[in-house]
Amino acid sequence: MTTALLTDHYELTMVRAAMGSGTAFRRSVFELFPRRLPEGRRYGVVAGVGRMLEALEEFRFDEETVAWLLEKDVVNEQCAAWLRDYRFGGNMWGYPEGEIYFPGSPLLRVECSFAEACILETLLLSIYNHDSAIASAASRMTAMAEGRPCIEMGSRRTQEQSAVAAARAAYIAGFASSSNLEAGKRWGVPTGGTAAHSFTLLHDSEEEAFAAQLKAQGEGTTLLVDTYDIENAVRTGIKLTEGRLGAIRLDSGDLAIQAREVRDLLDGLGAEKTKVIVTSDLDEWQIAALRGAPVDGYGVGTSVVTGSGHPTCGFVYKLVARADSDDPRAELLPVAKKSTNKNTVGGRKFAMRRFDAKGRAEAEIVGIGTPPTGDANDRQLMVPLVENGTIIGREPIEKARERHEASRKELPKAALRVSKGEPAIPTIILDHEGDETYNPYLHSAVPTNI
């Protein structure tokens, strides 16, 4: 299935007009970046890189698509001919998936002709803005869970394809598993699930329902115990398994109090190994609040798939440099608009994270025109993703997950506070001579729009 029309109308009218004015094939540099973090967040998490590379490969204008664009006069014949042959032939560098980011981090740099880069804008932003919003929220949750497993189960609270992407992003950010089967099949995310209240209500008694579930899923299953009366349900589950029940799930009420009561009840019944899973309206604050409770796992729904209050990242994609002719040797000139409150820093960016001698992150260094230089402790953040149209940035999802865990561990401890705060490390922008220069991302008060 082509991804070519997951695109704003104006990307194509711009290409059409630029072909008319002879500027469409000027060599250009576009960058995708955040102007800021959501209010109070201390760091963000890059996700969507792997999905973007897949979507890029499927970005093809087939004949049916081109015919529709011509019929609607979105493009003319000249533009249509170019679209039919479209294959991204440029270069992309970017932060690898799972990496942490801060305001102004140049997450993706696209170098090719204006036309080639322009028509990717909407698709790139859609994928990065969504997936990174989920991963950024999910990472706060797994940080608060302090090693106890978080289970993503929010598919029903987001669009059906977003659900698949959300499961993937949450897994990268440390979730243990997901309820979403398609994410399991497509991306290898571990999936799990046992039963809902409807399963208990379907049977003539709770005991019959539990017996049916145990028969099908074994004693290691998780029984949902709050359909009628929690204490009765727990006793039934323990009786049926002679104390060997895998886990019980609580999905309503005051979870801290109930988890304690259920833990005591289980222990009293000799079921010390039976785990307690909680699943009602959890978010990073609830998870933090349950640290003291005897809870063995968290099922998280709505809040993770909707980015816990921040369903999009507000990344933008801006032309930062371009040639003044079609000549491939023409010099790239930095460009930037000057609108109120939406300043962009012109010029091609590079990025490095600076670490202290103990390996603790100190600053995000963004270099304009030239990579920042550091010492052996520091890490260059941008890796090649696409080289002359060939995708070279693919990697297993597990690698992104490991990278995220490692990158989060390098942050100052304050980064993992659930309370609102400033970005965990400052972003420093260096001009082409390596001197610190004006940083608009520190001072922009107005939220970004398209």
Q: Smallest gap, in angstroms, from Cβ of residue 410 to a second copy?
A: 29
Closer by beta carbon to a second copy, 197 or else 260: 197
Q: Which of 62, 146, 160, 422 binds a second copy (CB under 8 A)?
A: 160
**Longest pairwise C-alpha distance within the chain:** 80
Q: How far is the CB of 27 from a second copy (least distance, A)?
A: 11
Instruction: Compute the CA torsion angle 197, 199, 205, 208 (nearest 10 deg).
Output: -130
Query: Which C-beta is closer to a second copy: that of 20 or that of 89?
Result: 20
Q: Phi and psi for 105 in degrees, rounded to 5?
A: -60, 125
Residue 445 binds a second copy, judged by CB under 8 A: no
Minimum CB separation of residue 409 from a second copy in Å reads 29
Residues 379-438 that bind a second copy (CB under 8 A): none
Residue from 81, 84, 87, 156 touching a second copy (CB under 8 A): that is: 156
Nearer to a second copy, 142 or 200 (CB): 200
Phi, psi of 439 (to 5 degrees): -120, 100
Q: Cα(first)–Cα(last) distance of the chain, in Å?
A: 27
The count of other CB atoms within 10 Å of the CB of residue 231 is: 11
174-213 residues in contact with a second copy (CB under 8 A) are 179-182, 184-185, 191-204, 208-209, 211-213
DSSP string, 16-28: HHHHHHT-TTSEE
**Nearer Cβ to a second copy, position 134 or 365?**
134
Total residue count of the chain as it appears in this document: 450
Q: CB under 8 A: which stretch of 26-34, 98-106, 138-146, 289-297 binds a second copy?
A: 26-34
Q: Which residue has the tokens 């029984």?
A: 223
Query: Least distance to a second copy from the beta carbon of 335, Å?
Result: 4
For a second copy, which residue of 46, 66, 69, 366 counts as binding (CB under 8 A)?
A: 69
Query: Binding string to a second copy for residues 117 to 136, with x set by CB under 8 A, is what?
Result: -x--xxx-xxx-xxx-----
CB of 424 to a second copy, least distance (A): 25
Measured CA distances, 272 to 215, 256, 260, 393 (Å): 22, 18, 13, 46
Comparison of 257 and 406: residue with beta carbon closer to a second copy: 257
Does 26 engage in binding with a second copy (CB under 8 A)? yes
Name the region of 306 (left: φ>0; alpha: ψ -120 to 50; beta: rest): alpha
Dihedral pair phi/psi, residue 365, rounded to 5°: -105, 120
Give residues 309-348 in contact with a second copy (rule: CB under 8 A).
311-312, 314, 317-319, 322, 324, 335-342
Interhelix angle for 49-57 vs 160-172, to 10°?
A: 130
Smaller CB separation from a second copy, 165 or 172: 165
The position carrying tokens 């270069």 is 91
Contacting residues for 58 by C-beta, under 8 A, at least 6 apart: 1, 2, 3
Contacts to a second copy from residues 210-239, by CB under 8 A: 211-213, 215-217, 226-229
Segment interacting with a second copy, rule: CB under 8 A, options 152-160, 369-377, 395-403, 423-431: 152-160
Closest by CA to 249, choosing from 276, 228, 287, is: 276
CB of 389 to a second copy, least distance (A): 21
Min separation Cβ 122 and a second copy, Å: 5
Report in angstroms how near the CB of residue 366 gets to a second copy at its nearest: 20
Q: How many beta carbons lie within 10 A of that of residue 309, not counting itself?
A: 14
Query: Site map for a second copy, 253-272, x if CB under 8 A?
Result: x-------------------
CB 370, CB 434: distance < 8 Å: yes
User: In terms of Cα–Cα distance, which of 155, 139, 112, 122 is closest to 25?
Assistant: 112
| Binding segment toward a second copy, per CB under 8 A, in 94-102, 149-157, 263-271, 397-405 | 149-157
Under DSSP, the state recorded for 383 is E
- What is each CA distance from 363 to 9, 103, 109, 425, in whole angstroms? 39, 11, 20, 5
Which range of residues in 80-88, 287-295, 307-315, 412-420 is near a second copy by CB under 8 A?
Answer: 307-315
**Residue 443 binds a second copy (CB under 8 A):** no
Three-state secondary structure call for residue 232: helix
Q: Which of 40, 68, 231, 264 binds a second copy (CB under 8 A)?
A: 68
Is residue 47 a contact point for a second copy (CB under 8 A)? no
Q: Which residues pair with 429 in a beta bridge?
A: 366
Going from the C-alpha of 111 to that of each of 103, 121, 417, the distances in angstroms are 22, 13, 38
168 versus 353: smaller Cβ distance to a second copy = 168
Q: Please tell me whether residue 116 binds a second copy under the rule CB under 8 A.
A: no
CA-CA distance, 345 to 368, in Å (whole number)? 9
Please, which residue, 58 or 398, has the CB nearer to a second copy?
58
Q: By CB under 8 A, name the one of 244, 252, 265, 371 that touches a second copy.
A: 252
